[in-house]
Structure 1
Amino acid sequence: MPVQTAPDLEAPPQVERLSPSGRRARLAAAAVVLALLLTGTVWGDDSEFPFGPFRMYSTRADPDAPVVSTRVVGVTADEEEVRLSGGEVGLRRAEFEGQLPRLVADPSLLGLVAESYEAAHPGGPELVRVEVVQRRFELAGGERTGAYTDDVLVGYDLAAGS
């Protein structure tokens, strides 16, 4: 039986070491990142994320403080509420909550929400008003008491245009 020879293999690449100045630069960069993380952890807020903590996950709420739930509703001429948040008009509740300052400053934007609803639900009830409602659920020891209050944060009459 003939003996086979190994194919010619390339020599392994040489390992290149960092120069002392390269090591110092990497250590300095790592120290800056760690300092930002530590500073953000102690004094940061959501706006500094990822160097600041994401408060939603890094803190806990008072178990006796009310919980606020925001919703957008359309109101018919019979005073019935039609749900507009929760994806009914292409925006989720969190997206509405993120736009609350704009909606309060310019309530006419709620007219656009009504238009989106009417386009998506052509056979739906006719709306005369759109409101952003905040419901505050009362808690005792972290459990719902059953009591709640509804506050209309902003409203827009569709017929009057204001």
Structure 2
Amino acid sequence: MSRWSRIGIALAGLLLLILGTLFGQDDDFPFAPFRMYSTTDRLDAPVKSLRVEAVTVDGERIVLSDSDTGLRRAEIEGQQERIADDPALLDAVASAYHTRHPDRPRLREVDVVVRLIQLKDGRPTGQWQDTTTVRREIP
């Protein structure tokens, strides 16, 4: 590769870094900063915490943990919009649960629940509010 080719590639990379720094978002990494680490929220802003709950055929409400399904919370959080658009995607969560726990009662419903935890000066106040954002009846 010629010297001018290498210089051109270096300049293109530098241009991408500059544009990414000025206009980029997390999805543009490595040509943009991780904004989640370079910005702050108000100390009194509520914090969101997502969890997956289910109702068994016996009527018991349970929280589905990572070990119950093999799916990490971050994987569900990353797919929130897709799941909201297509709740049938939660069938895979129920299937994973049934595969890992064939001896437990089957699930009849899977819910995505978001808890808003209230803060005061950056510390939890003990007040929170749960909202079910997606509900799926399992066939």
- Report the TM range for the smaller structure's normalisation: 0.7 to 0.9
Alignment partner, residue 132 of structure 1: 112
Instruction: Render the CA deviation track for 1:114-134: whole Å, top value 9, x for unaligned.
Output: 122112112223322110000
Corresponding residue SS for 2:48: strand
| Alpha-carbon separation, structure 1, partners of 2:61 and 2:92 | 17
**Deviation >3 Å, runs of 4+:** 22-25, 77-80
1:104 matched to 2:84? The reply is: yes
Q: Which structure carries more helix by proportion?
A: 2
Tell me the distance in 2 between the aligned counterparts of 1:104 and 1:85.
20
CA displacement at 1:146 relative to structure 2: 0.8
Give the alignment's TM-score, normalised by structure 2: 0.86
Q: Deviations over 1:131-155 (max 9, x none)?
A: 0000110111111111100000011
- 1:2-151 maps to which residues of 2 (within 5 A)? 22-76=2-56, 79-151=59-131
> In 2, distance between residues paired with 1:91 and 1:123?
19
Moved more, 143-152 or 116-125: 116-125
Q: Structure 2 vs 1, CA of residues 25 and 157 (structure 1 numbering), >3 Å: closer, same or farther?
A: closer
What is the count of residue pairs matched by the alignment? 139
Rg comparison, structure with higher value: 1
Identical-residue share of aligned pairs (%) = 46
Q: Which amino acid aligns with 1:69?
A: S
Amino acid at match of 1:98: G
RCO higher in 1 or 2 (8 Å CA, sep ≥ 6)? Answer: 2
The superposition leaves residues 69-99 of structure 1 with CA deviations (integer Å, 9 ceiling, x where unpaired) of 1111111356533222424212100101112
- Are 1:85 and 1:96, in contact at CA under 8 Å, matched by a contact in 2? no
Two-structure CA RMSD over aligned residues (Å): 2.0
